[in-house]
Amino acid sequence: MGQGAEPRRVRAYDGELGAAVERAQGGDEAAFAVAYRIVQPGLLGYLRGIVGDDAEDVASDAWLEIARDLGRFRGDGAGFRGWSATIARHRALDHLRRQRVRPRATATEQDVLDLPGPSSTHDQALESISTGFALDLVRGLPRDQAEAVLLRVVVGLDGPSAARVLGKRPGAVRTAAYRGLKHLADQLGVAGVTDDGPRTLGESK
């Protein structure tokens, strides 16, 4: 996968995140706060795309579970983002089952869709519009496409990590993300989405 396929801003923090998680596992509360500050914006954006206005409550539940089970986590910074997204997704699905509502998205602050640079299709599709409008468009996608786009663009996961969160094959998630982003690009009149697109969004290997 090319360097531009995963959001560079998120990826740049993975080393710091991994070190913070390791210290937090040793009981360093300040290090846990560092990990929270790095992961929370993307996690909250993902949850807002699923449960809307209830995202903060669901995120709080997810972080309680993350803190409780932190000692069991094994992996690096990127792995921690995927692990925390999996926990958040389970809490979100539990919430939806309790509320018996369909997933919905709401307008959010700028930190929710702090998109990567202009090198890839999803950047071109979303960089020129407001965050709230972007999530409103994502809400109109089929559920599998919406979740794939949120995990790839908002949380910043690579294809295999997003697939693990969703419990699907990487190729299926890659295709869903590509179709979702192509649909968004078509809505916005953005050129440059070709049949080669899935490879720019998908698996590392």
pLDDT for residue 155 is more than 90 = no
Tell me, yes or no, if the pTM score tops 0.75: no
- Rounded Cα gap, residues 121 and 160, in angstroms: 19
Tens digits of residue pLDDT in 54-105: 889 999 999 999 999 999 999 999 999 999 999 999 999 999 888 875 544 4
- Rounded Cα gap, residues 180 and 193, in angstroms: 11
- Rounded Cα gap, residues 181 and 145, in angstroms: 8
